[in-house]
Amino acid sequence: MFVANPVRYFEIPVANLDRAIAFYEAVFDLDLERQTVDGYPMALFPYEEDGSGATGALAQGDVYVPSQSGTIVYFQVDHIGEVLERATSLGGSVLYPKKHIGAGGYVAEIADSEGNRIALTQPA
């Protein structure tokens, strides 16, 4: 069975949930909701029942280890340059500068406050 957008949920490992919440809320201009899921402290990204795309959470615990290798989560933003500025002002770093990729728009990658590799995409 084919599903158009099969990814529904992701978890981004963090070492310090308070620091990570402050980083993601400021960088992406959104509010996260704190919850404990299966004994692990998490902060859930906004979710819209009928919206497109996936949602996820920041997750802290012994099984959550921040890394720059492995799966890369892409966040769609309106202005990559502004997001890069906010990220670096909050302790993140640019891993891959803004680059035009043709009809796909623009991409960039940052290291978040926890050391994870996070990608950004901006429509053309």
Q: Could you tell me if residue 64 is inside a domain?
A: yes
Place of tokens 């990559």: 80
Q: Determine the Cα–Cα distance for residues 58 and 15; give it in Å rounded to an integer.
A: 10
Strand (E) or helix (H) holding 98: strand 93-100
**Whether residue 6 has pLDDT greater than 90:** no
pLDDT band at 7; cut points 50, 70, 90: confident
**Whether residue 116 has pLDDT greater than 90:** yes
Q: What is the pLDDT of residues 37-89, one digit of tens each?
A: 999 999 999 999 888 889 999 999 999 999 999 999 999 999 999 999 999 99
Q: Could you tell me if residue 35 is inside a domain?
A: yes
What mean pLDDT is predicted for residues 87-105? 97
Tokens standing for 18? 């308070």
Q: Could you tell me if residue 4 is inside a domain?
A: no
Q: Has this prediction a pTM greater than 0.85?
A: yes
Domain range for residue 54? 9-122
Please, are residues 95 and 117 in contact by the beta-carbon 8 Å criterion? Answer: yes
Mean pLDDT of the chain: 95
In sequence order, the β-bridge partners of residue 122 are: 106
Q: Could you tell me if residue 1 is inside a domain?
A: no
Count of domains observed in the chain: 1
Q: Could you tell me if residue 84 is inside a domain?
A: yes
Would you call 80 helix, strand, or coil by DSSP? helix
CATH number of the CATH domain containing 38 = 3.10.180.10
At 96, which amino acid appears?
Y
What is the distance in angstroms between the CA of the first residue and the CA of the last residue of the chain?
Answer: 31
